[in-house]
């Protein structure tokens, strides 16, 4: 017996999906009576099937669309310090085997057994995104285990983003251990140095997920003229320059991001071949075409245009527009890399939108396209086998 509150599946809900490893229970799958609706967000609970058979230990949040997140098997009734330590140790063992320096995503939410939790590591500083109510409740335990397992001295909480608001959580950042760095942190990746703003930048300060796609693009960049649109802190541009590109132009709407890209280029000894241009990406792509510019390698890595199913149609139109505007800027025989981090736009839909856009962009030129590479997030962003949403990143490389 346990004193934990109970969440029960509706009679018509098949429990096998949970038994086979699916990590979420939606509010419309549960019998939400007055008692279950009163469960405090982030509380531990027992998920039962309609016949009252225990299925799993879950984190409950009756006010969220995801009303239950599976934490462990049925019979486990608490999250001990050892529970956090063992899971973090497992996550660290994978990254330590993959990378020779402590710069990576340490925890990728459900795929690492921490539903809704993201942890990125930057040397001796870790940035935590506790995007689920249960993680907010257990933040002290998580922080203590994180310090003990990894040896980091600083732990920061990043509270921005849509996911926390969907859970009913605040947007207040905090220092959980140690101190916040007083300057951007240099991060070595793919032969370049990137500058990560851990307190004022986007998300956790840097996007590790594109690391293998940066590397693939860099392999195409030798002696090339490179255009990196939606560049953020110089992701593709700096990797391309480290790979021997003749020049790289980084375009972004954020001047602080471009300043960090410039600092990264300087740290990498690449400033003489690097330039930036601030502006709206769509307007800048059109302006470059009017100016008669051409590049051997063009990369477009926009933010999530389709963050939800409701935004899917508009998002696909935006991806098509990016492809249509970018394709004419690619010199004959050059390469175009198009990326999406929208989990609502699956690979097939995204690829279709890109191909349609390229076709529209090149229709008067007689040129054709070849899709030569499909890339995904790096292995420090593992995919949960039953949760398609954890495989959100797509990168398509075309030869035009």
Residues noted as catalytic: 341
The angle that helices 235-242 and 211-219 make with each other, rounded to 10 degrees, is: 40
The answer to whether 378 touches 209, Cβ cutoff 8 Å, is yes
3-class secondary structure for the chain?
CCCCCEEEECCCCCCHHHHCCCCEEEHHHECCCHHHHCCCCCEEEEEECCCCCEEEEEEECCCCCEEEEEEEECCCCCCCHHHHHHHHHHHHHHHHHHCCCCEEEEEEHHHHCCCCEEEEEECCEEEEEECCHHHHHCHHHHHHHHHHHHCCCEEEECCCCHHHHHCCCCCCCEEEECCCCCCCEEEEECCEEEEECCCCCCCCCCCHHHHHHHHHHHHCCCCCEEEEECCCCCHHHHHHHHCCCCEEEEEECCHHHHHHHHHHHHHCCCHHHEEEEECCHHHHHHHHHHCCCCEEEEEECCCCCCCCHHHHHHHHHHHHHHHHHHHHHEEEEEEEEEEECCCCCCHHHHHHHHHHHHHHHHCCCCCCCEEEEEECCCCCCCCCCCCHHHCCCEEEEEEC
Distance CA 196, CA 177 (A): 19
């Amino acid at each position: 017996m346990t004193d934990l509150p109970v969440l029960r599946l509706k009679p018509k809900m098949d429990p096998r999906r949970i038994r086979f490893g699916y990590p979420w229970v939606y509010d419309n799958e549960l019998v939400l009576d007055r008692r279950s609706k009163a469960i405090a967000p982030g509380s531990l609970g027992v998920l039962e099937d309609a016949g009252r058979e225990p299925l799993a230990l879950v984190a409950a949040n009756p006010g969220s669309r995801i009303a239950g997140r599976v934490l462990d098997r049925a019979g486990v009734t608490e999250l001990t310090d050892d529970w956090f330590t063992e899971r973090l140790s497992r996550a660290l063992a994978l990254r330590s085997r993959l990378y020779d320096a402590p710069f990576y995503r340490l925890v990728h939410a459900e795929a690492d057994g921490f539903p809704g939790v993201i942890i990125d590591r930057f040397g001796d500083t870790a940035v935590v995104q506790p995007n689920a109510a249960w993680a907010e409740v257990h933040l002290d335990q998580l922080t203590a285990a994180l310090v003990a397992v990894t040896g980091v001295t600083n732990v920061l909480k990043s509270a921005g983003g849509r996911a926390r608001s969907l859970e009913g959580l605040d947007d207040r950042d905090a220092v959980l251990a140690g101190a916040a760095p007083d300057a951007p942190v240099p991060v070595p990746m793919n032969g370049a140095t990137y500058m990560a703003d851990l307190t004022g930048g986007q998300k956790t300060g840097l996007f590790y997920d594109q690391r293998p796609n940066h590397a693939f693009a860099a392999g195409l960049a030798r002696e090339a003229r490179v255009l990196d649109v939606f560049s953020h802190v110089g992701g593709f541009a700096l990797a391309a320059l480290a790979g021997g590109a003749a020049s790289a132009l980084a375009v972004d709407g954020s001047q602080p991001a471009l300043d960090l890209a410039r600092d990264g280029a300087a740290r990498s000894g690449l400033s003489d071949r690097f330039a930036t241009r601030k502006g709206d990406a769509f307007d800048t792509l059109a302006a470059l075409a009017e100016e008669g510019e051409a590049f051997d390698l063009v990369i477009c890595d926009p933010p999530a245009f389709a963050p939800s199913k409701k935004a899917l149609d508009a998002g696909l139109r935006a991806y098509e527009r990016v492809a249509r505007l970018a394709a004419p800027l690619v010199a004959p025989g050059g390469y175009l890399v198009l990326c999406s981090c929208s989990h609502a736009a699956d690979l097939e839909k995204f690829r279709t939108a890109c191909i349609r856009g390229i076709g529209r962009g090149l229709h008067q030129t007689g040129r054709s396209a070849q899709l030569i590479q499909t890339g995904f997030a790096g292995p420090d962003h593992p995919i949960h086998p039953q949760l398609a949403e954890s495989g959100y990143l797509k990168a398509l490389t075309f030869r035009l």
